[in-house]
Amino acid sequence: MAIEADEPSATIPEPADHAPTVPSASIGSLATSAADRRSAVPRWGNGRDVTRYICAAAYLDRAYAKSLIKQVAAEPHLGVAAAPACDVPVALRHAYLANARRHGRDLVLTVLFLLFFVFFFWVGNAALTLLVLIASWVTLCSFELSTKYGRHLQSLRPDRFDPAAAPPPLNDDIAARLRQIGSYAGGNVTTYSGYSPFIGYGVELDSWSLAFDVTTSGRAGVTPRDFEVTELYAHIADRLGTLVLPCLEIEERLFVDGGSLLGDSRFLSHPLGRPVARIPFDQLDALKRTPEEGARPYLAVHSTGWGGELVTSLFLRFVRSDSSLFVEAVPTVLFPLLDRYRVIDTLMPRPPLRDLAKLVSETLVSTVFVLLASPARAVAGFAPDYWMSWRLRRQEKLITRLRRFDYGARLSVRRQAAAADHHRYFQKADSGMVLKTVEKRVLDALVEFAEAHDIDAGGLIQRQEMIINNGIIAAEGARVEGNSVASGAKSRISTRVLNKIPLLNLD
């Protein structure tokens, strides 16, 4: 099967007060040098659909919109996780508007709730109580109709979507934070919190690693040539750059533990600010030569497909000691978005009779529950950043007094809206193809590098065969079927055969 690179598409326009435009360096050219790849920013296929769907999710999913504001937009001290193919500031603008619309509805429902309480418990008038309930249902039904068929969600249709027309920020403070968040799209540093550093890049699959001696030559009487680990990074990047895969992009990225930043001016310019989005390449090279516990550089290889929704990545790290070289490879897959956020692609300009009847029945059932929840929601809605002032005071005490604070990103805008698995068999096959192709090229490049430096590559070749023979990738819940599958420590499978294996609405 021939593999063709995606055709370039139009660049997504950005709002005037958005973050500075990210340099659009392309990795697709075979002639691109390793130095250019170092400064390249992944464009993720220039897709627009992911941003559209995530903006729609803010209107369709109250919990999702709330999490975007509380854990991303209203956190001025935290780093921002990667969001492949998504314009995060645009999504946050729609999230603020969606929450403002819900707050207006909750205020109306709160008034109706008070009238219901008075008429039911105090006056005892059943007719007025029923009238209030009908008015509450009409309010809820009208809100749902205006959400799905009003101008905001309809503006996210494929033929109407314009990121430059995103709703304006509510105030200057929010606008400044959104500009800061936008700057991370052009950075090379991910500040993470918790166990996994690869936040935003999807589900981690089975990683592999190997180590081999670099002091033994494959030829008698020949001394292996010395090398710097930065040379190996450049060689691997060059060899990977010759692959022809869908939207292949290569970048160098640093992952920093958010709990170790305080006092480190390299990654945190001010204790009460955000972690840096980008560091100079000389610092990145220094960390390659001398890795630190809380800051580790990786060579990241990404392949984007299916309109930007499927992102398959391999993160590579090389550690050189006096006698050996350690290689680490971590594959990840960012799955497509949840199906319920794609409703904007099938929404008619006006509701069909069947959909209207369904909406009427759903709101009729949920009216009482939404009415009871409206007072608490209305009060919380007066603070669109969810009591940000109180949270900031607490964070500043941790930073200035206790000198302990985790600056790592808590949530990935893109991953939070993703499904838990592939939607199509061919998506799974594409992920497997990309990972197997990239892994084989990496292992071949390692052997080439070793032989070019007169290093004995025999042990490396054996490890390469083991990884190829045993590296069957299966996501959670997947099954391995067929007659040509071997398992166990001593089992083997031909590389030739392996290459044939396709890898109640209460809103």
CB atoms within 10 A of CB 11: 12
Q: Does the structure show a pLDDT above 60 at 482?
A: no
Q: Is residue 300 included in any domain, yes or no? A: yes
pLDDT at 126: 85
Kindly give, in sequence order, each residue whose CB lies less than 8 Å from that of residue 307, ignoring residues fewer than 6 positions away: 45, 47, 49, 50
Q: Is 142 helix (H, G, I), strand (E, B) or coil?
A: helix
Q: In this model, does residue 168 exceed pLDDT 90?
A: yes
- Residue 387 — pLDDT band, cuts 50, 70, 90? low
DSSP letters, 183-218, are HGGG-SEEEE-SS-S-TTS-EE---EEEEEESS--S
Closest CA to 47 of 4, 81, 6: 6
Helix 425-452 to helix 458-470 angle (10° resolution) is 180
Is residue 202 within 8 A of residue 85, CB to CB? The reply is no
Region of 477 on the Ramachandran plot (φ > 0 left; ψ -120 to 50 alpha; else beta): left
Instruction: Report residue 28 as tokens.
Output: 């697709």
pLDDT over threshold 60, residue 56: yes
- Contact (CB, 8 A) for 19 and 183: yes
**For residue 221, is it within any domain?**
yes
The token pair that represents 108 in the structure block:
């109306």
| pLDDT score of 10 more than 60 | no
| Residues forming beta bridges with residue 304, ordered by sequence position | 311
Entry pTM: 0.82
Q: Which residue has the tokens 């096959």?
A: 429
| DSSP-H helix ranges across 19-61 | 34-39, 49-60
Q: Give the per-residue pLDDT at 219.
A: 78
Total domains, the chain: 1
Mean pLDDT is lowest, of 61-70, 285-294, 382-391, for 382-391
Q: What's the CA gap between 241 and 31, in Å, rounded?
A: 8
180 assigned to some structural domain: no
243 domain residue, yes or no = yes
In this prediction, residue 38 has a pLDDT band, given cuts at 50, 70 and 90, of low
Sign of the Cα pseudo-torsion (392, 394, 397, 402, in order): negative
Q: How many CB atoms lie within 10 A of CB 237?
A: 24
Q: Which residues, 6 or more positions from 27, have their beta carbon under 8 angstroms from its beta carbon?
A: 37, 40, 42, 241, 248, 249, 250
CB-CB contact of 13 with 89 (8 Å): no
Instruction: Return the minimum-mean-pLDDT range out of 249-258, 337-346, 405-414, 495-504.
Output: 495-504
Residue 119 CA to residue 59 CA, distance in Å, equals: 33
Sign of CA dihedral 155, 158, 164, 170: positive
Q: Could you give the CA distance from residue 258 to residue 256 in angstroms, rounded to a whole number?
A: 6
- For residues 474 and 356, the model is more confident at 356
- Predicted confidence at residue 34, as pLDDT, reads 56
Per-residue confidence (pLDDT) for residue 212, from 0 to 100: 87
Taking the alpha carbons of 346, 350, 355, 360 in that order, is the dihedral positive or negative? positive
Please say if the pLDDT value at position 279 is more than 80: yes
Average pLDDT across the chain, whole number: 83
Q: Is residue 4 part of a domain?
A: no
Residue 480 has pLDDT above 80, yes or no: no
Q: Tens of pLDDT along 367-380?
A: 989 999 999 888 88
In a domain, 195, yes or no: yes
User: Tokens for 461?
Assistant: 């070749």
Cβ burial of 493 (10 Å; 0-12, 13-18, 19+) is middle
Is the pLDDT at 29 greater than 60? The verdict is no
Strands 189-192 and 248-257: what pairing?
A: parallel
What is the secondary structure of 435-502 as a DSSP string?
A: HHHHHHHHHHHHHHHHHHTT---HHHHHHHHHHHHH-----TT----SSS---STT----HHHHTTS-
Q: Which two tokens stand for residue 115?
A: 């009238």
Instruction: Identify the pLDDT of residue 490.
Output: 43
Q: Does position 384 have pLDDT exceeding 80, yes or no?
A: no
Q: Residue 288: exposed, middle, or buried by beta-carbon count in 10 A (0-12, 13-18, 19+)?
A: buried
User: H or E stretch including 313?
Assistant: strand 310-320
Q: How many CB atoms lie within 10 A of CB 12?
A: 17
Average pLDDT on 479-489 reads: 39
- Give the model's pLDDT for residue 355: 85
Q: 249 forms bridges with which residues in the sheet?
A: 302
pLDDT at 6 over 90: no
125 lies in some domain: no
Distance between CA 378 and CA 74 in Å, rounded? 19
Q: Which of 412, 433, 434, 415 is nearest to 313 (CA)?
A: 434
Q: If pLDDT is split at 50, 70 and 90, which confidence band does 473 have? A: very low
pLDDT tens per residue across span 328-352: 999 999 999 999 998 888 888 888 8
pLDDT tens profile 174-194? 999 999 999 999 999 999 999
pLDDT at 499 over 90: no
| Mean pLDDT for the stretch of residues 82-110 | 94
Q: Is 335 inside any structural domain? A: yes
Positive or negative, the Cα torsion across 109, 110, 113, 118? negative
Domain that holds residue 291: 34-46+188-339+419-498
| Cβ(19)–Cβ(181) below 8 Å | yes
Go through 118-135 and write b for each residue having 16 or more CB atoms within 10 A of its CB, e for each that does not: ebbeeeeeeeebeebbeb
218-264 tens-digit pLDDT: 777 788 899 999 999 999 999 999 998 889 999 999 999 999 998 89
